[in-house]
Amino acid sequence: MIAKKIKNKVLQLGAIATAVLTLSSCEKKAEQELPKRNWQLTWSDEFTGTAGTSPDATKWVYDVGRGPNNDGWGNAELQSYTNRTSNVALDGSGNLVITAMRESFAGAGFTSARIKTKAKLEQTYGRFEARIKTPTGPGIWPAFWMLGANIDNTPWPQCGEIDIMEQRGQEPHLVHGTVHGPGYSGGAAITKQYALMNGRFDANFHVYAVEWGEGYIDFFVDNFLYQRITPENVTGKWVFNTPFFLLLNIAVGGNYVGFPTIGTPFPQTMSIDYVRVYKQI
Amino acid sequence: MKKIRIYTSSLLAAAILLIAGCTKRDVSSLQAPEFPKNGDVFLDDFTGDLAYAAFGGSDVRAFQVETKETYNGSRQSMRFEIPDANSPQGAYAGGVFFSRTGRNLSEFTALTFYIKASQAATVGVLGFGNDLGANTYVVNLSNYQVNTNWKKVIIPIPDPSKLKAERGLFYFSAGPENNRGYTVWIDEVKFENIGTILAGQHSIMNGINATANTYVGVNTQVTGIVSSFNMPNGVNQVVGLSTSFFEFKSSNPSVATVNANGVVSSIGAGTAIITATVGGKNATGQLSITCSGAYTNAPTPTRPASNVISIFSDAYPNIPVNYYNGYWQPWQTTTSNDFKVQNDNVLNYTNFNFVGIEFSSPTVNASSMSHLHLDAFFPNAVLPGRQLRVIVVDFGADGAFGGTDDTRHSTTFTTPFLVSQSWRSIDISFASMTGLSRRANLGQIILEGGDGTSLFVDNVYFYNNDPSIAAPVPTRSAANVLSVFSDTYTNVPNTDFNPAWGQSTTVSQIAIAGNNTLRYRNLNYQGTQFASALNVSTYSNLHIDFFSLDATQLRFFLISPGPTERSVALTVPTTTGWNSVDIPLSSFSGVALNNVIQFKVDINTATNGPSVFFDNIYFWR
């Protein structure tokens, strides 16, 4: 585990030469020249705590069940989310672990967990990052993502969605960075993939981040910029100028990832070392 | 698949000639030989040092180099023509592609190739590590499903660091589908360094914590060897592999040691836990050995083999037995964990409630046998009232289980005869098995009465306790003999050898090697009534030849009216064939020797109902 004392730490990260925008998503160049941005930590969870305990209730709330319309959260997902520590708990080693299991529960064939910072941490712009070891297997759909905090009054996709990290378990070498908004949601979302040439994301921890400012969202894996999305890239209204909250989950099945197969190993776990949110200063 | 016929195509011979100049090494250096780090096996042709040998019994012409059906337009592929069932050329297609020199494959993570078939089929085995020799590092996929599309196969290497001098680069075996042959093509066979395979989960004992109770001298094999890898598509794939990839370790080498092949040798009392690693990574599963120390062997059988039909014993050749544990569902809990200690095989029934032993192919004709014997040992506590029921089943004239002609008899043994931690020899005479109408078609022995603990069984056999040879022929002059029972002399007339004195003994006279012999079965006591009183006052001795393998006490009585009876003890069991004794008549002091009216034999306080044989009973002087 890396050292965790980073409160009020100022990060200095380079970002973005315009040339970078055209780089192939599958080729990692040796160096990127990125303009300097200064970040100040505004919120974090380092997930230190006793093994088997629930995540900090002052920072996270649960989504439980199969969605408000009982339709698999709009995606025909197969799991039922719970707030049980068997599905989401600290591991005692500085990680939060979300566990997806094959079990019958509340009418679903699988259980998992989805937690969010709604009404706990809602922020416009900044750097949002998490260090995650992802799960794997056909039909496994882990995500670290954000939704517009106005979602209750401004339904999806008008509220906006920023998917910092999504993976399909049958393609563990690929990560997807995506935004959804009015006119560019679901299958028409604005998205890009980043691939490991001869490796897999679920083999190790990786840092997944976006840096979001006025008129741009930059997507990073291990501080490598692989995608910038600006108002010119989206095929509808740019809605990324209001507060968003964070979500972490493993979905099982659903339109995006397909069914789990008999060969999908269960249980599957997603370990999150930390989630940190910064503002630019 | 051990017998290999070497088949070398002319193409291959050419390939070898071509590379002959490339394999020279500098022999002046004293370093260990470095094998080429080439992972190519068959791309468009045999690579360098590659040769092919067909498996024995396979169709040796099944493999050919193919030019038409190739992967992604490559120049050539491998073609296997799987024969029809019962093809005179061979029953299946299979063989080994081996390196003549050896390869260093330690920098690769998997063997990969593409495969398709002329129809959907299940290929028996695909793998590497079969080197026509020790087959030390074998990895394979078994029963692999192929179809008419090219499909990439990835066989991960559990621990590449082991493969520094590997000769077995690829092997293959497939038989007919529904008795009909088909064709398999394989192309682009090579070892690759694939980073998208996640390190395997290795297991022994199928990943569970298994236990075994042993004795000193028992060898136990670590089984359930599997490795599971997470493949690039996120799916776990199980491969079969040889134990050589595993490093085994005993937590207590003074109790049990384990060798490189996973054979655990128990050497002292105590507990040892056998674990394993692969490439430094812990394997799941373990084998806990609880060694109880020195093993007490069952008593070694002493009956002559000619008098025995053996079901399970190391002392005799055993007849064909269908099974020693029928796993009769649904109620049977008994499992078998048989062991061998110092060349003594032991049936070890664990979780014992009941178990059936069947020997019905063919059934056993035990008509000439007198007894069933078995030795039983309870390693756990035996509670008061514990039973062991021994059931013998005859399948009747139809020789098959069921029907209306099956008969059986159950004999119950209980405490205090049954004890813990000591062998109990059980002998049941067929005479006492009243429920068994006949014994010409014996098919099963069933043991009942288990309490869920363990039962060791050894030396299960039917035997005939008749002597196999006749009693010695007397040599005394007839002039000096007064004979009661002998073929050599004229016997006193009209002796009743089976007067009704309320005994349970069964008396008969049988011919043994042509010699008439007096047989007492299930003896408690038995009289002999002379037609008229004998005056033996002028004789000095009574001669008796006797034989008994199972009597523990035996007394012989001389009786005169009164009655006045005196006995002498005969030494039993007779361990070296017939015993001959000459008893001075003074030993029967008190009996009126001029008025001997009866003999009597009994077993004193013994209770075993033995079989006893007599011959040449006569007085002499």
Q: What is the mean pLDDT of residues B38-66?
A: 90
Q: Per-residue pLDDT tens for B297-352? A: 999 998 888 889 999 999 999 999 999 999 999 999 999 989 888 889 999 999 99
Q: Per-residue pLDDT tens for A38-90? A: 999 999 999 999 999 999 999 999 999 999 989 999 899 999 999 999 999 99
pLDDT of residue B226: 87
pLDDT of residue A141: 97
Q: Per-residue pLDDT tens for B70-123? A: 999 899 999 999 999 888 888 899 999 999 999 999 999 999 999 999 999 999
Taking contacts as CB-CB distances below 8 angstroms, the residues of chain B near A265 are: 230, 234-236
What percentage of chain A reaches a pLDDT higher than 70?
Answer: 89
Q: Per-residue pLDDT tens for B113-138? A: 999 999 999 999 999 999 988 899 99
Tokens representing A147? 């939704």
Tokens representing A173? 């070498």
- A169: nearest CB among B194, B234, B237: B234
The answer for residues whose C-beta is within 8 angstroms of residue B134's C-beta and 6 or more apart is none
Contact B235 A137 (CB under 8 A): yes
Contact B196 A264 (CB under 8 A): no
Q: What is the mean pLDDT of residues B31-46?
A: 85
Taking contacts as CB-CB distances below 8 angstroms, the residues of chain A near B235 are: 137-138, 170, 261, 263-265
The yes-or-no verdict on residue A9 having pLDDT over 90 is no
Dihedral, CA of residue A129, residue A132, residue A138 and residue A143, to nearest 10 = -30
Q: Which of A138, A174, A144 is nearest to A268 (CA)?
A: A138
Distance between CA atoms of B168 and B41, rounded to whole angstroms? 10
- B233: nearest CB among A170, A196, A199: A170
pLDDT of residue A96: 98
Q: Per-residue pLDDT tens for B521-569? A: 889 999 999 999 999 999 999 999 999 987 889 999 999 999 999 999 9
B196 touches chain A (CB under 8 A): yes
- Catalytic-labelled residue, pool A46, A122, A161, A211: A161
CB atoms within 10 A of CB B464: 21
pLDDT of residue B31: 60
Tokens representing B136? 């030390």
Strand partners, B5: B54
The pairing of strands B541-547 and B525-534 is unpaired
The yes-or-no verdict on residue B23 having pLDDT over 60 is no
pLDDT of residue A23: 41
Distance between CA atoms of A4 and B520, rounded to whole angstroms? 93
A77 carries an active-site annotation? no
Contact B235 A261 (CB under 8 A): yes
Q: Per-residue pLDDT tens for A27-39? A: 445 567 777 789 9
The yes-or-no verdict on residue A4 having pLDDT over 80 is no
Alpha-carbon separation of residue A198 from A201, A225, A226, B41 (angstroms): 10, 19, 17, 22
Tokens representing A225? 């910029």
Q: Residue B587 has what DSSP assignment?
A: G
- Of B10 and B409, which is predicted with more confidence? B409
Phi then psi for residue A156, to 5 deg, are -60, 140
Which of B112, B145, B196 to mutate against chain A (most A CBs within 10 Å)? B196
Taking contacts as CB-CB distances below 8 angstroms, the residues of chain B near A174 are: none
Q: Per-residue pLDDT tens for A215-259? A: 999 999 999 999 999 999 999 999 999 999 999 999 999 999 999
pLDDT of residue B26: 52
Q: What is the mean pLDDT of residues B222-228?
A: 89
Tokens representing A5? 């004392």
Question: Which uninterrupted H or E stretch holds B17?
Answer: helix B10-19
Q: How far is B175 from chain A (nearest CA, A)?
A: 26
The answer for residues whose C-beta is within 8 angstroms of residue B510's C-beta and 6 or more apart is B466, B516, B517, B519
Distance between CA atoms of A39 and A126, rounded to whole angstroms? 8
Is the Cβ–Cβ distance between B497 and B518 less than 8 Å? yes
Q: Which of B460, B509, B462 is nearest to B368 (CA)?
A: B462
pLDDT of residue A13: 46
Q: Cite the DSSP H helix spans in A9-118.
A: none
pLDDT of residue A16: 42
- B196: nearest CB among A137, A200, A265: A200
Q: Per-residue pLDDT tens for B476-491? A: 999 999 999 999 999 9
pLDDT of residue B550: 76
Q: How high is the ipTM of this complex?
A: 0.77
Alpha-carbon separation of residue B108 from A30, B156, B162, B197, B244 (angstroms): 25, 9, 11, 11, 18
- A200: nearest CB among B193, B198, B236: B198
CB atoms within 10 A of CB B159: 23
Distance between CA atoms of B524 and B609, rounded to whole angstroms? 6
A166 carries an active-site annotation? yes
Q: Rg of the Cα trace of chain A?
A: 18
- Catalytic-labelled residue, pool A46, A122, A129, A166: A166
Distance between CA atoms of B190 and A43, rounded to whole angstroms? 51
The yes-or-no verdict on residue A5 having pLDDT over 80 is no
Is the Cβ–Cβ distance between A87 and A95 less than 8 Å? no
B198 touches chain A (CB under 8 A): yes
Chain A residue whose CA is closest to B200: A203
> Do you find a cis peptide bond into A35, omega within 30 degrees of 0?
no
> Do you find a cis peptide bond into B330, omega within 30 degrees of 0?
yes
CB atoms within 10 A of CB B594: 12
Is the Cβ–Cβ distance between B117 and B184 less than 8 Å? yes
Q: How far is B28 from chain A (nearest CA, A)?
A: 40
The answer for residues whose C-beta is within 8 angstroms of residue B297's C-beta and 6 or more apart is B341, B342, B344, B458
CB atoms within 10 A of CB B67: 12
pLDDT of residue B198: 87
CB atoms within 10 A of CB B386: 19
